[in-house]
Amino acid sequence: MKDILPGEVERWRWVESVFHRVLRDYGYGEIRLPIFEETRLFQRGIGEDTDIVEKEMYTFADKGGASITLRPEGTASAVRAYIEHDMAHRPPPVKLYYIGPMFRHERPQKGRLRQFHQVGAEVFGLPGPEAEAELVEMLMFILRERLGLQGLSLQVNTLGDDACRPVYRAALKEYLASRTDDLCENCRRRLRTNPLRILDCKAEGCRAVAAGAPVISGHLCGACREHFDAFLSLLDGYGVPHAVNEHLMRGLDYYGRTTFEIVSTGLGAQNAVAGGGRYDNLVSLFGGPPTPGLGWALGLERLISLLPLEGGGKGGGVQKTLPLEGGGRVGVDERVYLAALDEPGRATARLVARDLRHAGIPAELDYLERSLKAQMRSAGSSGASAVVILGGDELARGEAVVKNLADGSQRTVPLTDLVSSFAPPP
Ligand code: HAM
């Protein structure tokens, strides 16, 4: 555990302010979750066979005899809160984020603490790959553009779903069983409980075994293949570089389909800055209505250790003093809703939303291919001041119709001028 002293705290506040700003522009609302929960929430949510639940939780009986656990992560609590506060009845998506301490009884080393801090983002109600691509695009934008980090790479994978993962798991288990002698002790046990995790074990023998193991891509069902391919091409559309790593397994059991991790060359052995993925079964596992979910979390200690140093030099430099708000425009009160009439409109809406948000203008859009009427209703209830309508002849001409929701007036704006029409350059 670490104290954060004056002189360092300023950096923490600056980084946090960047997350607050950008997450707001992407439509996320902050949630403050309790520091401890009933133990079984994490046991069921994260999975009994994971390292976190088996070895790393700070669990104890309180004075009333209840078993409670200091939270090792935020997703299980966010899902509990989503159900408890009936957020399933809000129009999707519900987007939440949190910043705060997490606790894991791990062996301390560089970049690994027992009390550390995460920023996490969770999205409920969106089944499509668009939501995943947007989630990752946002994270890369914050890290690269707003915080100026270099040397990051994005690794992505799919774990298949309840239809195809069991088939893959069986094939993998069969292969691994034939190589038991080469596995570390931990992985011999995992062979029974959680064979997929063996693929990202760092022990030398296990890595050699993993190198020859069957891969998930050979076993995906049609729906999962299509979903993953769409996710990858959406990342291309955003211009976000990525590498598929079929050995990326993540340490939590709730994932299905897309997973991802951001690793940095500047971190040593504990090189993951952030990780996340899709967890479509978690809300129903906790007794809520079947609701797709996805999200990520990022380690603040690791991130802050990567911030560029002024004056260079290992250890000698001081971290750059950066403008407090972390860039972007301050005090824009426009909120824009992007409504799309057809597929070309939806593709344009995704990119315009990105550009508006990058310029510091909160923007929302439809992810569920709903009618224009339904989208206009969402725009009204989202508090938008303007709706940009994308599609049809206007879009073919490179234009969009912008409707002012306060007075009902409409104007036609070239797509290239859209962002500056909401926030004229200072
Ligand atoms: P995670 O990969 O366990 O995912 O943690 C996310 C990040 O927290 C890691 O990439 C790392 O930067 C940081 N972290 C984890 N453990 C430590 C530690 N002991 N010391 C310092 N930093 C650490 C999750 O927690 C999931 N809840 C992410 C998620 C959200 N998936 C979907 N939604």
Q: What's the pLDDT tens digit per position in 180-227? A: 999 999 899 889 888 998 998 889 999 999 999 999 999 999 999 999
Residue whose entry in the numeric block shows the structure tokens 């302010």 = 17
In this prediction, residue 312 carries a pLDDT of 44
Q: What's the pLDDT tens digit per position in 330-361? A: 445 689 999 999 999 999 999 999 999 999 99
Q: Cα(103)–Cα(54) distance, rounded to whole angstroms?
A: 14
In this prediction, residue 329 carries a pLDDT of 47
Output the pTM of the full model: 0.94
In this prediction, residue 269 carries a pLDDT of 86
CB 161 within 8 A of CB 257: yes
Q: Order the strands of the 363-365 sheet from edge to edge.
A: 363-365, 336-340, 386-390, 399-404, 410-414
In this prediction, residue 395 carries a pLDDT of 98
Q: 254 C-alpha vs ligand 1 centroid, how far in Å?
A: 14
SS3 390: strand
**CA atoms in the 13 A half-sphere facing the CB of 124:** 26
SS3 426: coil
Residue whose entry in the numeric block shows the structure tokens 């949510």 = 45
Residue 149, token pair as written in the block: 């980090």
Confidence of residue 49 (pLDDT cuts 50, 70, 90): confident
Q: 111 C-alpha vs ligand 1 centroid, how far in Å?
A: 11
Between 12-21, 214-223, 310-319, the lowest mean confidence (pLDDT) is in 310-319
In this prediction, residue 334 carries a pLDDT of 84
Q: Cα(303)–Cα(38) distance, rounded to whole angstroms?
A: 30
Question: Which residues surround ligand 1 with Cβ inside 6 Å?
Answer: 73-75, 104, 106, 112-113, 116, 118, 120, 122, 251-252, 272-277, 295-299, 301-302
Q: Which of 73, 109, 149 to mutate to test the pocket of ligand 1 (most atoms within 8 A of CB)?
A: 73
Mean pLDDT of all residues in the chain? 93
